[in-house]
Amino acid sequence: MKYDLNLFPAFMALMEERNVTRAADRLGITQPALSNALNRLRETFRDPLFIRQRYGIAPTEFAEGIAPTIAAALQQFDDLVLPQQEFRPEQADRLFTIAPNSYVELVLMPLLVARIREQAPGIRLRMTPFGSDLTEAGVMSGMTALALGRMVDPPDNVVVQHLMDEGLACVVRADHPDIRDSIDRAQYERLKHVNVLPPGRLRAGLFQALDRQGIRREVAVSVTHFLAVPEMIAVTDYCATLPRLICHGLRRDPRFKVLPAPVDLGTFPVEMAWHVRYRQDAAHRWLRSVVADIGKELLQRSLEP
């Protein structure tokens, strides 16, 4: 019996997205084309595979059962074919889905977009939320090309590469009535603070660093993204403890004063993760090399006084 192998990436996209429109967008095809592929998959397997629901589609029990086998088969084909393909960035026409955490989205992604525009103008990027773990980010299924941030307990089918270590500094408004050219431990503990709470287990990082130093901190406001912090600091006497590279950017704004943390709060890792199926993909190797180069540049910048 003959099989159309093009149907199986369509199946995996539907499994990952649980939505025909989003799956078609990931594959770079029209929704009618994907619906046609789904009908052919149903004929091949003699099963509905996906059932329409109010907010998308849900896989049948049969589809859930065959998904791991199809994913493994696609990886084997990738390992066989992709190393033989030549990749020319300047001629590439491709969509990459990347899941950055909020820090990477603000600090690294603008540099990556500029670099790709210069070296590979035909490549398009689609950013998806990092979420609380690699499953939510789509990396464990291989539907997301890269996750960028801090990886916690990565599974065996995900490769993790360390990019850099980032430190922390403090920011207050420039005319803060109690803070001059430095901030000591007692002042830090007296101040009220704006805190950034990324999703999932990552939220423990700064709290753990403060606990190790025995520092108390009164959090007045908690937000979910670094972009929300500056405007709150500008109109209050609050303090924020932020990654150094974000603080470097705020130094250019006359409304703010950036100061070293009162004690050594350590560093946190910035990492890149991808599914093992992309290990030999020439296009992905190129993309990873660009991200790694930017990570080196950011590391040097973060060490500047």
- List pLDDT tens digits, range 218-237: 999 999 889 999 999 999 99
- Cα–Cα distance measured from residue 213 to residue 149, given in angstroms and rounded to the nearest whole number: 25
205, burial (CB in 10 Å: exposed 0-12, middle 13-18, buried 19+) = middle
Q: Look at residue 142 in the predicted model and tell me its pLDDT.
A: 67
Q: Which residues contact 123 (CB under 8 A, 6 or more apart)?
A: 89, 92, 93, 94, 95, 96, 116
Q: What is the chain's percent helix, strand, coil content, to nearest 5?
A: 45, 20, 30
168-266: CATH class: alpha beta
Instruction: For 186-215, write each residue's pLDDT tens digit.
Output: 999 999 999 988 654 444 567 778 888 889
Query: Are the C-beta atoms of 227 and 240 separated by less than 8 Å?
Result: no
Instruction: For 80-123, write each residue's pLDDT tens digit.
Output: 766 556 778 898 888 888 999 889 999 999 999 999 999 999 99
Q: What is the mean pLDDT of residues 261-279?
A: 89
Q: In which residue ranges of the chain is CATH 3.40.190.10 found?
A: 91-164+270-302, 168-266
Q: In which residue ranges of the chain is CATH 1.10.10.10 found?
A: 7-84
- Cα–Cα distance measured from residue 262 to residue 245, given in angstroms and rounded to the nearest whole number: 18
- Cα–Cα distance measured from residue 213 to residue 221, given in angstroms and rounded to the nearest whole number: 22
The β-bridge partners of 270 are 164
CATH code, residues 7-84: 1.10.10.10
CATH architecture of 91-164+270-302: 3-Layer(aba) Sandwich (3.40)
